[in-house]
Amino acid sequence: MSTGVNALLISPAARDALQTWLDHQRALKGAAENTITAYQGDVIDFLAFMTLHKGDSQGLGALARLTISDMRSWMAKTRGPDVGPRSLARKLSSVKAFYRWLAEREGFEPTAVLSTRSPKFSKKLPRPLAVDAAKAMIDCVELQSRHAWVAARDVAVLTLLWGCGLRISEALGLKGADAPLPDVLRIVGKGGKERVVPVLPAAKDAVDAYLRACPFPQERDAPLFKAMRGGPLAARAISQVMMDARMQLGLPATATPHAMRHSFATHLLDAGGDLRAIQELLGHASLSTTQAYTAVDTARLMEVYNSAHPKAAR
């Protein structure tokens, strides 16, 4: 549990309850560590606010008696220049998840918290790159470093994002034991969900080229992709090299590592790929999430559905 200033404002009982809930999310729900960290920060900030708002440390009994007015006060205080409606909605979602669990365990009615409405915001649709732009991005990234092995590394990472639909965290999570890359990779994604991803020859070749050029030894349990001094490669390094490349290519700020994954889905679907199969390759829990990753219009989606659905194809 964090020992930040806000954490010190929370009652021991509330702190213990929060830690128990986080352990539950980690062990039983399979929540990723990034999700756990976000939950922890959001709920700690909420509980600390309630302590200051009420003028007293909030034990579990007091937390069970929060009102809609208390919730509105928290939302008004939290919303600010650095916290937009999207971030506030995420924080409220974290608080509601904690309260559902706490109410069930302690036997109280969490209506005031759960009935609090999330602020409205417009969802940002993903912006995949066109095929030519994705190719140009990889070619340009190769020119960004004076070190040949770093250039080969960056090309390999981007090729995995675009060619295999990996998240940046999944690509950077590969270990030395994963090389040379097999025909299929078993990837453990968000929430501990495992999926099988075919590896294109181009991705194999790119990783092999990186391995031949890399000056550091590969250890089975160490990260496959190395930073300049041999440590684990950070996602921000790939984000930076893509930012430099997109400025040279005149591409928008949406040309990020995650956009390469978006492009994987869009280009497969646009070439006639099955939406369900793409869902499996991306590791999405719901088909609607996969649909949001694609940049095809409704007419194209209907064409896919009509050609694939047995009732339509007659």
Which residue is catalytic, options 91, 195, 204, 258? 258
Active site residue 91: no
Q: What is the DSSP letter of 12?
A: H
Looking at beta carbons, which pairs linking 30-39 to residues 24 or more positions away fall under 8 Å? Answer: 30/191, 30/192, 30/193, 31/191, 32/190, 32/191, 32/192, 34/169, 35/190, 35/191, 38/90, 38/94, 39/94, 39/97, 39/98
Distance separating alpha carbons of residues 198 and 300, to the nearest angstrom: 25
**184-188 and 194-198: which strand pairing?**
antiparallel
Which residue is catalytic, options 91, 153, 167, 195? 167
Active site residue 311: no
Active site residue 258: yes
Active site residue 53: no
Which residue is catalytic, options 39, 99, 210, 293? 293
Active site residue 117: no
Six token digits for residue 170: 């999944």
Which residue is catalytic, options 226, 261, 262, 267? 261
Q: Cα torsion at 190, 192, 195, 201 (round to 10°)?
A: 70
- Nearest-CA neighbor of 259 among 187, 158, 173, 115? 158
- Residues 17 and 102 sit within 8 Å (Cβ to Cβ): yes
- Residues 163 and 255 sit within 8 Å (Cβ to Cβ): no
Name residues whose C-beta falls within 8 Å of residue 198's C-beta, 6 or more positions apart in sequence: 164, 183, 184, 281
Active site residue 261: yes
Which residue is catalytic, options 54, 86, 100, 190? 190
The count of other CB atoms within 10 Å of the CB of residue 65 is 11
Six token digits for residue 5: 């200033």
Active site residues: 167, 190, 258, 261, 284, 293
